[in-house]
Chain A
Amino acid sequence: MKILDLGLTRYREALKVQEDLLHKRIAGLEDDCLIVTEHRAVVTFGRLTGENNVLDKRYFEDRCVDFEYTSRGGNVTYHSPGQVLLYPIVDLEDKKKDVSFYIDFLEKTVSNSLNVLGVSAERGERRGVWVGGKKIAFTGVGFKKWVTYHGVSVNINNDIDAFLKINPCGEKDILVTSAKEVLGKELDMARVKNIFIEQFIKDFKEEYKRQDFIYGAKASRVIRK
């Protein structure tokens, strides 16, 4: 698994990196990769978005926050520095080809990472990762030829007031939190990213272990049209 920490990026800049790796992965020219980044303040819309889920557009305009319409699943969300973004570019062609299973895996690995950080996170009945009834992580993914892109965002030290100005994920009246709010202190982002990366690698191996055992590493390099 290749790891690529892009640091602080604009959304489009990171998207370009994702798309480049996605196409190379499909062509068999790259290994699986986990992109880690933080975004400059941006509101992103998934495919199932209505602009009516932005409750206070002026709030974002006054702060020069970009609006980006994306090809990921899900609805509207907000990104800003201090939030960890995980964008896995992984090939599931020869693994368990199941969209829900993959999203379950993403939520599990985020929940496990947060637990390591001392945040009692869990998966709820609704999508995402939750802490005491408040949402802390947001999923929205895409697939091309069973290679994944887009991913999950996790609130760590970031400003969460902006979530009051949208219906996060299109859901009304949900409360949002961050690791900083839960723990009452800022976390070291380098340490946080390392924990997410290590947990992702470990959980990916375990969750997709049976398929790896059956097909082996060779299958991940199959070139497909």
Chain B
Amino acid sequence: MELRLPELSENNDDVVITKWHFGENDFIKEGEDLVEVTTDKATFDIPAPCGGKIKKIYKSEGDSIKVNEILAEIN
């Protein structure tokens, strides 16, 4: 399953990846925080939409990301 950046604001604020809580090949449970993203004044933890093995991470810490761009893939 692909995890994409959800819409956090109607303002389309710039969003930056600030912390991956898990790495590739790690196992994660549904609902656990996978990645933290940050806008100008807010951090936002995005949970895993399903449990499984993290097959691929598409963005690094410090990268900018837009709404609906792919963050990671979970098997």
B15 closest partner in A (C-beta): A99
Q: A residues touching B (Cβ–Cβ < 8 Å)?
A: 46-48, 71-74, 98-103, 127, 139-145, 224-225
A225 closest partner in B (C-beta): B31
| A99 in contact with B45 (CB, 8 Å) | no
Whole-angstrom distance between the Cβ of B63 and the nearest chain A Cβ: 14
Q: What chain B residues lie within 8 Å of A102 (beta carbons)?
A: 42
> A47 with B11: in contact, given A73-B43, A142-B43, A225-B31 (CB under 8 Å)?
no
Interface residue count for B (Cβ, 8 Å)? 21
Which of B8, B19, B43 has most chain A Cβ within 10 Å? B43
Q: B residues touching A (Cβ–Cβ < 8 Å)?
A: 8-11, 13, 16, 18-19, 30-31, 33, 36, 38-45, 47
A169 closest partner in B (C-beta): B41
B32 closest partner in A (C-beta): A225
| B9 in contact with A141 (CB, 8 Å) | no
Cβ 8 A contact of B41, one of A98, A141, A225:
A141
| A99 in contact with B31 (CB, 8 Å) | no
